[in-house]
Amino acid sequence: MTTDQNTAPTPTPTSTPSAGIDPIRVDVWSDIACPWCYIGKRKFEKALTVTGIPVEIEYHAYELAPDLPEEFEGSEQDYLEIRGFTADQVQPLLSRIVAAAKAVGLDFNYDILRHTNMLKGHQLIRWAKAEGHQLDMVERILAAHFEEGRHVGRDEDLAELAAEIGLDREKALSALREGRYADDVRADEAKARQLGIQSVPFYVFENTYGVAGAQDPAAFADILRQLAEKKQETTQ
């Protein structure tokens, strides 16, 4: 089942949401290679379930390792050492990430994870946005990368992921081969620099309030409630 890319599925609230307000705009800068982006996604979704407040979400590209080749042959240890971690820091870090993922219902598997350049993956997400299914594509590509060990840097593999959420494989493949959305990815990254974003995930609420990191669901819920109350005040 697919959903509209801009509007998150209506959750079943466990507290009474603010009634009659327009959706809260949420722009998320995220990288496919970022484990905390996937963990943060689940935490934010939990906040939506708790509050029942409607949101309009758009994902934006942010590459943590833009110089990585499409076919990276190294291990997770190799990748993290390239990213500046020492050898004795890697296993404690991975253990902490896997535990944090498990706590929100995700099953990260670093034994099979395949690192790659994420430019094409971000282009696919932008193409899926144009097709009206960005949120579905974000979820599918993150699961493929972190839980399934799929290659998310090659045109053909990415087109298969598009087909798995009901989109046209050949259209996706054509867009990727042409690099049709590369400029959109670069525009996202330029906007991130303009906003001073230096790490992801990074959430911008209502084009005004910036929040960094995979916050706890309660923190996200508090932000959403405060913004909903302000929206109500302006409409009264």
The CATH code of the domain that includes 84 is: 3.40.30.10
In a domain, 200, yes or no: no
In a domain, 13, yes or no: no
SS3 17: coil
- The domain containing residue 41 runs over which residues? 25-193+209-235
Which of the two residues, 215 and 1, has the higher pLDDT score? Answer: 215
CA distance 29 to 107: 23
**Percent of the chain having pLDDT more than 70?**
91
Q: How many domains does the chain have?
A: 1
In a domain, 174, yes or no: yes
Please, what is the average pLDDT of the chain?
A: 92
DSSP letters for 77-133: HHHHHHTT--HHHHHHHHHHHHHHHHHTT----TTT------HHHHHHHHHHHHTT-
CA neighbours within 13 Å on the CB side: how many for 75?
6
CA distance 127 to 137: 9
In a domain, 103, yes or no: yes
In a domain, 54, yes or no: yes
In a domain, 8, yes or no: no
- Tokens 């590209």 correspond to what residue? 61
Write out pLDDT tens, residues 7-18.
554 444 444 445
CA distance 130 to 147: 26
In a domain, 199, yes or no: no
Q: pLDDT at residue 236 above 80?
A: no
The DSSP symbol for 18 reads P
pTM: 0.91
State the pLDDT at residue 217: 98
State the pLDDT at residue 233: 84
Residues 46-54, mean pLDDT to the nearest whole number: 97
CA distance 184 to 113: 27
In a domain, 9, yes or no: no
Residues 170-198, mean pLDDT to the nearest whole number: 98
Tell me the torsion sign for CA atoms 207, 210, 216, 221: negative
Which of the two residues, 41 and 1, has the higher pLDDT score? Answer: 41
